[in-house]
A = this chain, B = another copy of it.
Amino acid sequence: MTLKLCTIGGSGHLAYVLRDLPRLPEVEWVGYAPGDEEEREETLAKTASLAKSAGLEVPRFFENWREMLDTQQPDVAAVDSHFARHATIGIETLRRGIHLFLEKPLATEREQLQELRLAYDASGVQLAAMHGLRYAPAFHAAWEAVQAGAIGRIKLMHAQKSYRLGERPAIYRSRDTYGGTIPWVGSHAVDWLLWFAGTEFRSVYAVHSSQDNAGHGDLEMTALCQFRMGGDIQASVSLDYLRPAGAPSHADDRIRIAGTAGIVEVRDGQALLIEADSDGIHTLAPKPQPGIFEDFVRQLRTGESCRISAEESFAVTEACLLARTSADTGQAISFPSQA
């Protein structure tokens, strides 16, 4: 079976796709295009650079992604356009019956997300959001320990994303194009909560602030979210762009998960476990993981879901958008399915 692939845009995690391609002889990369005219130079440059790193020839370039989809008739599209275009492009892709590997957040507005959901439900094709951190070895080691019962039932979680700000391009500076720090930075952390808990979000209360953002317009520098989830799980998320330039890495990703019989946490790329009945803190050995796109291609071949199901992909973006609304309004919000 050969799968024809088109890529659209290159502003986020296009690397997830291109770095896996050398291991996927069944995938034929047949074209790339920007998500919009204004993404043209970025898409050309980013695609060329990532292709070179992966030892790949770049395929035919299209100025217009609709024309590319019509001409090349791909089986799968990887969409990594600017934030506010994810849903728009995703909807058209799904309506053409093309499998969709979509950068997160899936949408920057709930109406878009609902429309994307309807298009997905009607499509019969596969969809996954680019929540690549489920494949980070330390996070996966922690998740495996939880699955194996090492900490009993989860009661409390705290997840952290901390980024360097640097100098961000214009799309980060307006809510209309960026969507917000909770949907973008936060979706990783919210995804961990859903992945570890395996239960639904019930309510959220959040705050965020764009003060002291070094001239970055609407961009929120800080945010806190607090979720209630099924199974009496409480979870908080801390997000910021305050990681100093002098820090040893761009991102400081963490999660701490406390259960009825132990605590596991990930920080500094290590997974640490304390169990009820063994002494001290144990470092869990990380194991090599497949690439997320590699796993999604396996899903296309076998029908068995990759680590992030379509259902979860939608749930994470919805949770982020409701958290953003909570932060905008100062109100706690109950999730619709629980109303």
Contacts and interface: CB of A to CB of B under 8 A. Distances in A.
A158 to B, nearest CB: 5
Contacts of A276: 244-246
A208 B226 CA distance: 11
Interface string A204-244: 01011101100000000111101010001011101010111
Chain A interface size, under 10 / 10 to 19 / 20 to 34 / 35 or more? 35 or more
Nearest to A330: B332
Contacts of A162: 258, 263
Contacts of A209: 155, 232, 234
Given A205-B205, A209-B234, A247-B274, A240 B156 contact: yes
A81 interface: no
A258 B330 contact: no
Given A260-B212, A331-B332, A155 B221 contact: yes
Contacts of A258: 162, 222, 240, 242
Given A232-B212, A281-B248, A331-B332, A243 B263 contact: yes
Q: Which of A162, A211, A236, A258 has the most CB of B within 10 A?
A: A258
B156 A246 contact: no
A275 B275 CA distance: 34
A337 interface: no
Given A153-B212, A155-B222, A158-B158, A278 B236 contact: no
Q: Which of A238, A256, A281 has the most CB of B within 10 A?
A: A238
B226 A207 contact: yes
Contacts of A223: 234
A279 interface: yes
B246 A228 contact: no
Given A234-B222, A236-B236, A258-B222, A244 B274 contact: yes
B234 A236 contact: no
A244 B262 contact: yes
18 contacts: A155-B212, A158-B160, A162-B258, A162-B263, A205-B332, A209-B232, A212-B232, A222-B234, A224-B236, A226-B226, A240-B258, A242-B258, A243-B274, A244-B263, A244-B275, A245-B276, A246-B275, A248-B281
Interface of A: 153, 155-156, 158, 160, 162, 203, 205, 207-209, 211-212, 221-224, 226, 228, 232, 234-236, 238, 240, 242-248, 256, 258-263, 274-281, 330-332
Given A224-B226, A244-B261, 17 more contacts: A155-B211, A155-B221, A156-B240, A162-B258, A207-B228, A207-B234, A222-B258, A224-B235, A236-B236, A242-B258, A243-B263, A244-B277, A245-B277, A246-B279, A247-B263, A247-B281, A248-B280
